[in-house]
Amino acid sequence: MQTRFRLSVVLFIAAVAVFSSCSKKNNKEGRYIPGTATAVFMLNGESVSNKLSWNEMKENGILNKVDSSMEDYAKAAFENPENTGIDLKKNLVLFFENDSLGGYVVLEGSIKDAAKFKAFNSKAFKGAAETEKNDIHIINTPKVTSTWDKEKFVVLIDMPKSNRNFGNPDGARPTGKRDNVQTATGIYELSESKSMGYNEKFTELVGKAGDIHFFVNSAAIYEDNPASSMLGMTKMGDLYKDAAFTGIANFDNGKINIDMKSYVGKQLSDLYKKYSDVKVNTDMIKRIPSKDIAALFAMNVKPEGIKEFITTLGLDGLVNLSIAKLGLTLDDCVKALKGDFVMAVSDIKKDSLGSPEVNAIFSASVADKGSFNKLTELINNMKKQNTDAEKYFYYTLNNDYFTAGNKETVDKYMSGGSNNNYSFLDKASGSSFIFYVNLQTVMNAMKPANNKDSLDMASYDLAAKTWENILMTGGGFKDGGTNMHAEINFMDKNTNSLKQLNSFMGSWKKIDDEKRLARDKWMNDVMAADSIAMTIPTK
């Protein structure tokens, strides 16, 4: 009986251990990245190389061409990067780390051919001795430490000035010298529990497919920022504890898709949850009396949430004291505003002198017109101090909206006659903010005059046939953070955006090189003319 009891206890403990280990989310991608890393960028070698070959990159002209001055190992690497011994089909990771001695950056990845990697390093760091410790090969120079074993490589670059304010509020540079060899080799022995492998936010990030993943440790950046000591009297540090910003970029056909997520501390998360159920007022956007919007920003935010955020920081007294000089209080602002805001620039055209003219408009929803009158009184007092203000700043107020801008545009907006269902609104359904730029409209306003240099026109034509628009949406609080999405749209919808970006950069560089040659020729001609003029005798 006792034996059965002991066996049951053992099985119970084993089951708990297995369950505990399984319930802890982890990942293999962050196994050799310190959990304290300030920022991490991970390139999916397989997906990126499938979308853009090395030969295509070489042909675009951005990379330096092979010439006689290059050493053989560099020529071989340029012709085929696999000659370095790196496995380009595996992930490449770049991470930054700050410490009391400044900071360093690390590039790490997988080894495909250890002999090739060793040969490449021996030639790249000519004269530096190779040592070995615990099956880890090491080549150390004053700035760069390259290490590798049979499976992976870790290359550390010292950046002693990257964090000069760490622990030094007076801005003094850190003193001392890091043991770069020990730091680099220590990554191989990094405890899994202290790595990004056990970071749940990083696990969620790399669990989703992407060409590029990035992770920013917002909390660490805040702590390292010397300005944070100035805010020590507030609760900012507690609010941003465990804060992070993550993102995934995908080079899809016709667009670059970027999905981002912002995490904050528990207290701020609770605040976001409380006030995050808001959506952009699309009716306010549709009222804009123009079909040619160049740029737009719209958002919905609860004024009560802003007040609570300021109060949570302990800054409500300071804010009230500051705006009291204007005859306002925080409560006045909360009572006046409903929380909907729209700003837009439209109808860009050139005047007779070639300068751009635009229609700009700002509109805010009104919660209480009587309270909003306090804000308009402030505006009126400012306008009285500038006699020209009326020409450039016209506004009107009713029970629903406060709108400012060009008089004709404002009057049309307030009349409500327009109902423009812009195409980008379909992609912004349910978002708490929208940011949109029509690159075609903006570039058209910058189109060179016909008498301008042909190279300027070539630059314009290249950009105009490449870029379409940028759209960013998001908001709301879900799964522990605020989610956002951005897309950069290309004119060509059938080719993957990485190929298009590569082609654009190569063509742009070619035009820029021609411009540089033309400038150099012009300068040489001017100098030659000046030289001749100086040799002509005067009477």
Which pLDDT tens digits describe the chain residue by residue (539 residues)?
Answer: 455 545 454 444 444 444 444 445 789 999 999 999 999 999 999 999 999 999 998 888 777 666 667 888 888 888 899 999 999 999 999 999 988 788 999 999 999 999 999 999 999 999 899 999 999 999 999 999 999 999 999 999 998 765 544 444 444 555 668 899 999 999 999 999 999 999 999 999 999 999 999 999 988 877 766 555 454 445 666 667 788 999 999 999 999 999 999 998 888 888 888 888 889 999 999 999 998 999 999 999 999 999 988 888 788 888 889 888 878 889 999 999 999 999 999 988 877 676 778 889 999 999 999 889 988 888 887 777 666 666 667 899 999 999 999 889 999 999 988 889 999 999 888 899 999 999 999 998 888 876 667 888 999 999 999 999 999 999 878 888 899 999 999 999 999 999 999 999 999 999 998 988 988 888 887 787 767 777 766 65
Average pLDDT, the chain: 86
In a domain, 3, yes or no: no
In a domain, 215, yes or no: no
Do 142 and 44 belong together in one domain? Answer: yes
In terms of Cα–Cα distance, which of 230, 68, 91 is closest to 153?
A: 91
Do 194 and 276 belong together in one domain? Answer: no
Which of 183, 198, 213 lies at the terminal end of a domain, its last residue?
Answer: 198
In a domain, 529, yes or no: no
Which of 198, 232, 255 lies at the terminal end of a domain, its last residue?
Answer: 198
The DSSP secondary structure of 463-530, one letter per residue, reads: HHHHEEEEEEEEEEEETTEEEEEEEEEES-SSSBHHHHHHHHHHHHHHHHHHHHHHHHHHHHHHHHHH
Domain of residue 101, residue span:
32-198
In a domain, 22, yes or no: no
- Structure-token pair, residue 491: 């004119």
In a domain, 257, yes or no: no
* Helix or strand run (H / E) with residue 440: helix 439-445
Alpha carbons 37 and 147: distance in angstroms, whole number: 19
Do 406 and 281 belong together in one domain? Answer: yes
In a domain, 147, yes or no: yes
In a domain, 24, yes or no: no
- What does the chain come to in residues? 539
Tell me 449's DSSP state. P
Alpha helices in 325-361 (DSSP H): 330-336
How many domains does the structure of the chain reveal?
Answer: 2
Do 415 and 494 belong together in one domain? Answer: yes
Rounded alpha-carbon distances, angstroms, from residue 290 to 299, 404, 422: 19, 16, 10
Do 290 and 171 belong together in one domain? Answer: no
Digit-coded pLDDT (tens) for 446-459? 888 766 678 889 99
Do 293 and 194 belong together in one domain? Answer: no
State phi, psi for 242 to the nearest 5 degrees.
70, 15
Per the CB < 8 A criterion, the answer to whether 29 and 206 are in contact is yes
Q: Looking up tokens 């700035």, which residue turns up?
A: 143
In terms of Cα–Cα distance, which of 249, 280, 256 is closest to 471?
A: 256
In a domain, 12, yes or no: no
Alpha carbons 162 and 447: distance in angstroms, whole number: 40
Local structure of 219: helix, strand or coil: helix
Alpha carbons 5 and 8: distance in angstroms, whole number: 5
Q: Looking up tokens 């406060």, which residue turns up?
A: 402
* Helix or strand run (H / E) with residue 56: helix 54-59
Straight-line distance from the first to the last Cα atom of the chain, in angstroms, rounded to the nearest whole number: 127
Do 188 and 289 belong together in one domain? Answer: no
Tell me 385's DSSP state. T
Alpha helices in 160-253 (DSSP H): 180-186, 200-206, 218-224, 227-230, 236-239
Which of 148, 183, 198 lies at the terminal end of a domain, its last residue?
Answer: 198
* Helix or strand run (H / E) with residue 370: helix 369-384
